[in-house]
Amino acid sequence: MSDHIREAFLRRQYKEGMALAAESDIFDLTPLTDSDPPSRYLAHFSCRGLVRDGRGKIVEFDQFRVGIWFTPDYLRYANVAQSLTYLGPHRFPWAPNIRNPFLCAHIAPGTPLVDLIYVCYELWTWRLFATHDDGLNPAASQWARNQKSFRFPIDNRPLKRRSVRTGVAPAKREEME
């Protein structure tokens, strides 16, 4: 028996997610062919965030991948640990709300794909982070409390390309002389 409401939801998520990817210079979305419409995606961000390198130093890194899964009961129950998975490529992402393979974010049942994408982007680029508790990565939370506020966000570029309206009008003859 098919669930028409879930199917309509998934179709809309596909359409809106692919539209966002088409309008971004730093984000790509790959639907995984588990079903039609898809319920699983690979979100690939080419924007700056932070990682802890092999020497323990905190450095900028420009790749971030997340698996997104709309579980069969996602419209009634949303579990962030099931819906969002950090997939690398770096083993040690550095953010209070990310600890390989987990991401910590509040999602409600039926949270749209585009909203999930923005949450992931904001966590990675440090636009969205909380340090009042220790989150998933206590060391990153402590580190963030010791930073100057101008350090954040790590990447200022918008996820969605801004549209610029330009107009061209023919020049009047007297203007050309």
Cβ count within 10 A of residue 71: 14
Percent of the chain at pLDDT above 90? 73
* Domain coordinates in residue numbering, the chain: 4-176
> 93: buried, middle or exposed (CB in 10 Å: 19+, 13-18, 0-12)?
buried
pLDDT of residue 112: 98
Q: What is the pTM (predicted TM-score) of this model?
A: 0.88
Q: What is the mean pLDDT of residues 76-100?
A: 95
pLDDT of residue 1: 58
pLDDT of residue 35: 79
Q: Which H or E run contains 138?
A: helix 138-145
Handedness of CA 97, 101, 102, 108 (dihedral sign): positive
- CA dist 69 and 135 (Å) reads 22
Residue 46, pLDDT above cutoff 90: yes
State pLDDT tens for residues 112-127.
999 999 999 999 999 9
Q: What is the mean pLDDT of residues 2-26?
A: 95
pLDDT of residue 124: 95
Tell me the pLDDT band of 36, cut-offs 50, 70 and 90: confident
Across 1-5, 42-46, 142-146, least confident range: 1-5
3-class state of residue 66 by DSSP? strand
Q: What is the mean pLDDT of residues 22-50?
A: 94
CATH topology of domain 4-176: Ubiquitin Conjugating Enzyme (3.10.110)
For helices 113-124 and 4-22, what crossing angle results, to 10°?
50
